[in-house]
Amino acid sequence: MNCSISGEVPEEPVVSKKSGLLYEKRLIERHISDYGKCPITGEPLTMDDVVPIKTGKIVKPRPVQAASIPGMLGMFQIEWDGLMLSNFALEQQLHTARQELSHALYQHDAACRVIARLKKERDEARTLLAHAERQMPMSASTTATDNASVLSKEKRAAEDEEIGPGGKRIRPGISASILADLTDCNAALSQQRKKRQIPSTLAPVDALERYTQLSSYPLHKTSKPGILSVDIHYTKDIIATGGVDTNAVLFDRSSGEILSTLSGHSKKVTSVKFVAQADLVVTGSADKTVRVWQGSENGNYDCRHILKDHTAEVQAVTVHATNNYFVTASLDNTWCFYDLSSGLCLTQVPDASGSEGYTSAAFHPDGLILGTGTSGALVKIWDVKSQANVARFDGHVGAVTAISFSENGYFLATAAHDGVKLWDLRKLKNFRTFTPYDENTPTQSVEFDHSGSYLAIAGADIRVYQVANVKSEWNCIKTFPDLSGTGKANCVKFGPDAKNIAVGSMDRNLRIFGLPGDDDVPSES
C-alpha cells in the first residue's frame, strides 16, 4: 500500500478514520497543521482522527538500474549530464544579465552627463539673463521711473522663471564654487578667531556704567511711528533704521544728518542690513519683498533689485561674512540664500518639520552655520552647505524675536516673550537664562557687541550685561530706561568698540547712548 500524498510506501503508515485513506505520518501531520483538512477529500481533519498502523519492517526494493554496477554507472551518468546542462543554462543566463546591466549602466551614465551639461548651460543662461536684466545703469534723477522699471523686470523674471513639480520654482542651487568660497571664508575666520584678542580700544566696564542718552533723532514719520530694526556701518559710522512708516533711513551719526531715505516698500520695514564692502543696503519688509539698494556718487541710494521669492512677511535679513551672499527668513516657513551681485535666489529652503514661520535669523561669525528663530518658540541651527537642520533648541515661550551669535563662536543668544536664553554651541544646551521683565512684557531684541564682551537686551528698557569670563560673571552693568514713553524698545545695536549704543523704539526717534564728553555729535529733539 502506498501513501495517498507521496505515492510511496510509507515508513510510518497512518490511516484516516473518516476517509480510510493511508498516509505517511510526517506528511499528514504537516498538512493538518497547515490546512486542518484532508488533502484528498477536503473534509475537516485533526490528528485525533488519524490512527497509526503497526507493520513489520519493510525493506524498500532497489530500482532495476541499481541492481548492477553498469546500471548504477548509467544512473550517475544521467545525473551528471543533467547537472552540466543546468550549469550551462545558468551561465548563459548570467552572461545575458551582465550584458543587459552593462548596457543599462552605459545609458544611465550618458543620460547623467547630458542632464549635467544641460543644467550647467541653463544655470549659465540664467546668470547671464539676471545680470543683463538687473545690472542696467539707473539714473538717480528718475528714481520713481527706475523703480517702476525694476518692478516690471522682476515681474517678467518671475513670469519667465521655470516652474517645477507642484508649482514650485526651480532654483539653481549653491554651486561648488560658492561652497568653496564659503569654506575658504570659514577657514580664514576660524584661524583668525583662535588668535583673537579683545581690542585695547574697547570701552571698559566702568565707562559703560556711566553711559547716558547723548542724542535723539526724529528719523521717521509722525503718522506711523516706530523703529523696528537698526544696523551700523562701523567704518563710516552710518546708522540704518527700518520703520513702521515703510521707509528705511540712512543716518550719519557724526554730522547728525539724514543721508538718504529709502522709499519703495508698501508695508513696514522689518529688517535692514549693511553690506560693508559694497556700499549696499538690504531691506526686508512685511510686503513680502526684499530690496537691495546701491549707493551712488551723489549720496543717494537707488533700488537695484526687488526680490519676490517669499509668500509671507519677510522678518529677517542677514549678510554672510564674505559680503557676497545674504539670507532672508520669512513667515512662509522658508529661508532663501541669495547671490548679492545678481540678486538671484540660489536656493529656497522649506522646513517640513512644522508650520511655524521664521521670525529671526543670523549667520554664525564663520559663515557656515545659520541660526533661525520661529514663531513656534523654536531655535533651529542649519548647515549652510547642505541646507540641513543640524540642531534645534526649545524652551522659549512665544516667538523668537531676535538671535545673535557671539564673536567667540561658541555662544548664541536668543530673545523671546519669556526673556533671553544663552546656548553653548559646543554642548548644544542652554546654560543661562535672563528674565528681565514680567510675563506680560516680551523681550524684543538681543545683541552681542563686535568683540563678544557685552550683551544688550531690549524690551521695556535696555540692559547691558558683561559677558562672563575667567575674572567675571554675567553681570548687569547698566540699565537704560525707555525714554520713548512707549515701553517697547524694539532693537539695539552696539557702535564701534561699544563706544555708543543705538536704540530704536516704538516712537519715531533714534536714540544714541554713550559717555558724556566723549561725543560732540549734535543732538536734536
In whole angstroms, give the CA distance from residue 309 to residue 105: 39
Asked if pLDDT for residue 518 goes beyond 70, the answer is no
Indicate the CATH number for domain 13-60.
3.30.40.10
Asked if pLDDT for residue 249 goes beyond 60, the answer is yes
One-letter amino acid at 524 equals E
Q: How confident is the model at residue 149 (pLDDT cuts 50, 70, 90)?
A: very low
3-state secondary structure 231-267: EEECCCCEEEEEECCCCEEEEECCCCEEEEEECCCCC
Average pLDDT over the chain, rounded to whole? 86
Q: How confident is the model at residue 524 (pLDDT cuts 50, 70, 90)?
A: very low
- Predicted local confidence at residue 58, as pLDDT: 62
CATH topology of domain 196-514: Methylamine Dehydrogenase; Chain H (2.130.10)
Residue pLDDT, tens place only, 356-404: 789 999 999 888 999 999 988 899 999 999 989 899 898 898 899 999 9
Residue 9 corresponds to which cell in the numbers above?
Answer: 510506501
Kindly state the DSSP code that residue 163 receives in the 8-state scheme.
Answer: B
- Would you list the DSSP string of 168-179? PBPP----HHHH
Q: How confident is the model at residue 61 (pLDDT cuts 50, 70, 90)?
A: low
Write the CB contacts of 295 (distance below 8 Å, at least 6 apart in sequence): 279, 280, 281, 301
Q: What mean pLDDT is predicted for residues 23-48?
A: 91
In whole angstroms, give the CA distance from residue 281 to residue 262: 10
Higher-pLDDT residue of 297, 325 = 325
Indicate the domain borders of the chain. Answer: 13-60, 196-514
